[in-house]
Amino acid sequence: MKQSYFPQEIEKKWQKIWEESGAFKTSDDSEKPKYYALSMFPYPSGKLHMGHVRNYTITDVIARFKKAQGYNVLHPMGWDSFGLPAENAAMKHGADPETWTDENIAYMTKQLKMLGLSYDWDREVTTCKPDYYKWTQWLFLQLYKKGLAYKKEAAVNWCENCATVLANEQVIDGKCWRCDGEVEKKYLSQWFLKITDYADVLLKDLDKLKGWGDNVKIMQENWIGKSHGAIIKFKVKEIEGLEVPVYTTRPDTVYGITYLVVAPEYKDIEKLTTPENKAKVEEYRANARKMSEIERLSTDRVKTGVPLGTHCINPFNGEEFPLWTADYALVEYGTGAVMAVPTHDTRDFDFAKKYNLPMKVVIENPSNPSDCKNEAYTEPGILVNSGEFNGMKNDDAKKAITEKAVKEGYGEFKTQYRLRDWLISRQRYWGAPIPVVYCDKCGIVPVDEKDLPVMLPKDVDFSVVGKSPITTSKTFAQTTCPHCGGPARRETDTMDTFVCSSWYYLRYSDAKNSEKPFDRNLANKWLPVDQYVGGIEHAILHLLYSRFFTKALRDLGLLDFDEPFKNLLTQGMVLKDGSKMSKSKGNTVDPDEIFENYGADTARLFILSDSPPARDFDWSDAGVEGCYKFLNRVWRLVASNADDISLDYSLDYPLKKDNDDLVRIVHMAIKGITNDISNDFQFNTVISKYRELTNAIYDWQGKKTNPDNEDKNVLSFAVIALLKLMSPVAVHLTEEAWHELGAKGSIHDEAWLEWDENLAKASSITLVVQVNGKVKDKIEVDEGFSQDELKEVALNSPKIKELTEGKNIVKVIVVPKKLVNIVIK
RNA sequence: GCUCCAGUGGCGGAAUCGGUAGACGCGUUGGACUUAAAAUCCAAUUGGGUGAAUAGCUCAGUGCCAGUUCAAGUCUGGCCUGGAGCACCA
């Protein structure tokens, strides 16, 4: 065995052998229990970055660990390969997005293989290929038939830079999630998926997801944004038969209404405007339209509005109050109209102050029944100035007042969600075409399933600006109606890429099926994903959409389960010098360089070593160096002792004291490492335990000048255990060493080691003796000592005797096998 | 503003149940080997006090202030700082 470690040589050699022997193929038929380990698949942007390396290494180690524990593991990989960057690259370089994408996939595949990841490449899924997007389209049609996909004219988010619309989830701080460009509102007819039908179950089922972090669940909960309240309808005084309904979560404050606000886009706003106010209202509305999302949504902005001139009547007390329009009312939420109670709502308060609108206190602060001159009182209290409800607690009044409104016919209980339907139309080329046609006679007609896929056209001009390249095709749009056979027009919008990624995890279960998206039995067998690993940035987008898809497909009868991901690990970012690695900051580290200089095993070891997976990881060159040195140290340990190590060692008890100690250290390492992986995948402590074990073997060995047979057996036991424990991480080094020691099969087919509970502890224990809670002495004691014996040992220690001399011993607390605390006065 | 998370040496971090704070590593310092270097190995490394001492002893110490307890990094209450998400959602 070579005395030096040459990772580049070893790694290439084994990658080739594993590939040729099909070492990582997964069989659908196995007696073993299944385990599905999945990383979020990447967008093929060109090259792997360290975030990918971290993500895939984590999942790979999990997959290998579970395989060693006796599971039949599914660990696939694929490409989320539709999307705008390919199209932008095409515009820039004149290449076809497909060519650009294929090249990137080829390069990144090579890199993934260099990392030594245990993927079953036979199940590779690529969303931009017709054999995949055919089924994306098919699934769209199923949703359409069920009424879960529909087209409507709506105010949508438009990114001028990307020349396309965006889903609500893709607008971050009023800007485009991808290009950071400002987002404006446009009125367009677009395709939506009815995710709001599932709002309640998406919220409720978060409780089922015991294996998800609370942070992600809370983010989804907030995004869905369920609230309970009431709809109350107000008659308009000036216009017979016209009502303005409002949604409120504070029906207890209805007696305090002093005005009512509708959004500038409110549907009846023109009817509600008197001729005298028309000019001003028109001007205000035009301004609101022009304003960008960011300006409009800024909470620091002073609220503005104009009166419409008409009035509403409060059905509870007959009071009249004016109608205004103001852009702090949102047309998309609730009814688009708000009842204003300045005394008990901070926004209404600001507005009323500015425009000198009246205020009326209806909830009294029990601890300070002062007025509401300086700020709104929004805490619980007792109703006043509220007719028959005076004296009631406001929480009770919510229900009582709504009940009155229901009984008298001008109100109802209402649950409201913040979640809006998912806008999936994109005015771009590089996506799955939405499979519908428009016929003058028949209207919207879905494409026949037998005619799928609707293929992307090739005759397009990517240099066009301001419209989708797909519209430049001479052949694509023109078609015939599947219904009447007459001339018809194809939909030229493509689907949001998040539609493609909402079901890819199902396709892996049956990646080559050409008859359907997946076989129901195979999907039911492999899913849900046992461990999903990916970035927190998908907490809402991808993870919410995928949950919705799974539930919808379950309701379509395609699946028997309704949550796709049983356990979710959201890994932290990879930082360098305290900030996120990015090209613009120039602090990126190229994985290729690391592979070349240190090998993949070093990269894998290091990326897992310093931080727990969920936390951010700070990349340091010195840290890489340290891991490389450690692997060298392990290699030398094996190489320099190769002659003394035998694969068929046997341990004959009783062992010499120092040998017994080392055997115990190994058992403790097996136990500790197994528990650390099982318990939230704490790989950083796993790796520190590799080092401890290695150090212990070196220490032990340093004392052996003339090893006898027993020593050699113990050494074999320890070194082989170290290799097996390290095999999920240092996949190449351990395999090479394993074979150098004479093994025939792969170390990756070996079963995970078991530990003996009796041996996984030191032969004696150190008793800590405290006086008044402070450590004063440590005494080696026999493990079997009773509590009384421990107490006696502690009290008889010379040090303790000295300290307790002449003092009154109030109490002695004995923690078995650990500690004695003596309380003195 | 609301919601959530996190604060431990020079640094990354460790510490199942409340029970030896600082595992393991990085860095730093000193030493061994070497003509020299690299590599490797050994030792020290929370701060203060006392001390010739790298011996011993001693005090303080896990963001701050209280509390519960024989015992608090860990539990409770209140604050401070940093990060993330949502943000005029009525």
A492 confidence band (pLDDT: 50, 70, 90):
very high
Among chain A residues 247-276, those with CB within 7 Å of any atom of strand B: 247-250, 263
Q: What is the pLDDT of residues A106-128, one digit of tens each?
A: 999 999 999 999 999 999 999 99
The confidence score (pLDDT) of residue A748 equals 97
Which nucleotides of strand B lie under 7 Å from a protein CB? Answer: 3-5, 11-16, 19-21, 23-27, 39-42, 58-59, 70-72, 84-90
Can you tell me which residue has its alpha carbon closest to the C1' of nucleotide B19? Answer: A819
Cα–Cα distance measured from residue A491 to residue A788, given in angstroms and rounded to the nearest whole number: 84
Residue whose token pair is 């389960």: A561
> Is the C-beta atom of A179 closer than 7 angstroms to strand B?
no
CA dist A690 → A375, A687, A724 (Å): 61, 5, 11
Task: For residue A158, give the H/E element and its range.
Answer: strand A149-159
Nucleotide nearest to A690 (CA to C1'): B24
Cα–Cα distance measured from residue A156 to residue A698, given in angstroms and rounded to the nearest whole number: 66
CA angle A237, A240, A243 (to 5 degrees): 70
The confidence score (pLDDT) of residue A580 equals 78
- pLDDT score of A736 more than 90: yes
> Is the C-beta atom of A540 closer than 7 angstroms to strand B?
yes
For residue A88 the two structure tokens come to 């932008």
Q: Quick one: CA dihedral A680, A682, A683, A689, positive or negative?
A: negative
Residue whose token pair is 């007609």: A445
Q: Is A532 left (phi over 0), alpha (psi -120 to 50) or beta?
A: beta
- pLDDT score of A157 more than 90: no
The confidence score (pLDDT) of residue A289 equals 77
Question: B31 C1' – A377 CA distance, angstroms?
Answer: 72
Q: Quick one: CA dihedral A325, A327, A329, A331, positive or negative?
A: positive
Can you tell me which residue has its alpha carbon closest to the C1' of nucleotide B23? Answer: A688
> Is the C-beta atom of A811 closer than 7 angstroms to strand B?
yes
- pLDDT score of A372 more than 70: no
Instruction: Kindly report the pTM of this predicted structure.
Output: 0.92
> Is the C-beta atom of A813 closer than 7 angstroms to strand B?
yes
> Is the C-beta atom of A823 closer than 7 angstroms to strand B?
yes
Q: What integer is the mean pLDDT of A757-783?
A: 85
The confidence score (pLDDT) of residue A161 equals 83
Task: For residue A321, give the H/E element and its range.
Answer: strand A320-326
> Is the C-beta atom of A781 closer than 7 angstroms to strand B?
no
Is residue A660 helix, strand or coil?
helix
- pLDDT score of A368 more than 80: no
Question: B83 C1' – A796 CA distance, angstroms?
Answer: 52
Cα–Cα distance measured from residue A400 to residue A403, given in angstroms and rounded to the nearest whole number: 5
Q: What integer is the mean pLDDT of A49-59?
A: 94
Cα–Cα distance measured from residue A787 to residue A813, given in angstroms and rounded to the nearest whole number: 9
SS3 content of chain A, % helix, strand, coil (to 5): 40, 20, 40
A606 in Cβ contact with A623 (< 8 Å): yes
> Is the C-beta atom of A582 closer than 7 angstroms to strand B?
no
Task: For residue A156, give the H/E element and its range.
Answer: strand A149-159
Three-class SS of A229-291: EEEEEEEECCCCCCEEEEEECCHHHHHHCCEEEECCCCCCHHHHECHHHHHHHHHHHHHHHHC
Nucleotide nearest to A297 (CA to C1'): B88
Closest CA relative to residue A600, chosen from A631, A573, A574: A631
- pLDDT score of A638 more than 80: yes
Q: What is the DSSP string of A680-722?
A: T--HHHHHHHHHHHHHHHHHHHHT-SS--HHHHHHHHHHHHHH
pLDDT above 90 covers what percent of chain A?
Answer: 68
Enter the ipTM: 0.93
Q: What is the pLDDT of residues A164-201, one digit of tens each?
A: 888 888 888 778 887 888 788 788 889 999 999 999 99
> Is the C-beta atom of A616 closer than 7 angstroms to strand B?
yes
Burial string for A387-399 (b: 16+ CB within 10 Å, else e) reads eebeebebeebbe
A296 confidence band (pLDDT: 50, 70, 90):
low
Nucleotide nearest to A768 (CA to C1'): B20
Alpha carbon distance, N-terminus to C-terminus of chain A = 66
Q: What is the pLDDT of residues A314-355, one digit of tens each?
A: 999 999 999 999 989 988 889 999 999 999 998 899 899 999
- pLDDT score of A749 more than 60: yes
The confidence score (pLDDT) of residue A292 equals 59
> Is the C-beta atom of A328 closer than 7 angstroms to strand B?
yes
- pLDDT score of A293 more than 60: no
**Those residues with Cβ within 8 angstroms of residue A268's Cβ, 6 or more apart along the chain or in another chain:** A242, A244, A262
A589 in Cβ contact with A598 (< 8 Å): no
- pLDDT score of A48 more than 80: yes
A541 in Cβ contact with A424 (< 8 Å): no
Question: B90 C1' – A295 CA distance, angstroms?
Answer: 20
- pLDDT score of A36 more than 60: yes
Among chain A residues 639-698, those with CB within 7 Å of any atom of strand B: 671, 675, 679, 682, 684-685, 687-688, 691-692, 695, 698
The confidence score (pLDDT) of residue A462 equals 87
Average pLDDT along chain A? 91
Nucleotide nearest to A682 (CA to C1'): B14
| Span of A43-52, A277-286, A410-419, A798-807 with lowest mean pLDDT | A798-807
Is residue A472 helix, strand or coil?
helix
- pLDDT score of A295 more than 70: no
Cα–Cα distance measured from residue A752 to residue A402, given in angstroms and rounded to the nearest whole number: 63
The confidence score (pLDDT) of residue A294 equals 56
For residue A481 the two structure tokens come to 């109606």
The confidence score (pLDDT) of residue A779 equals 84
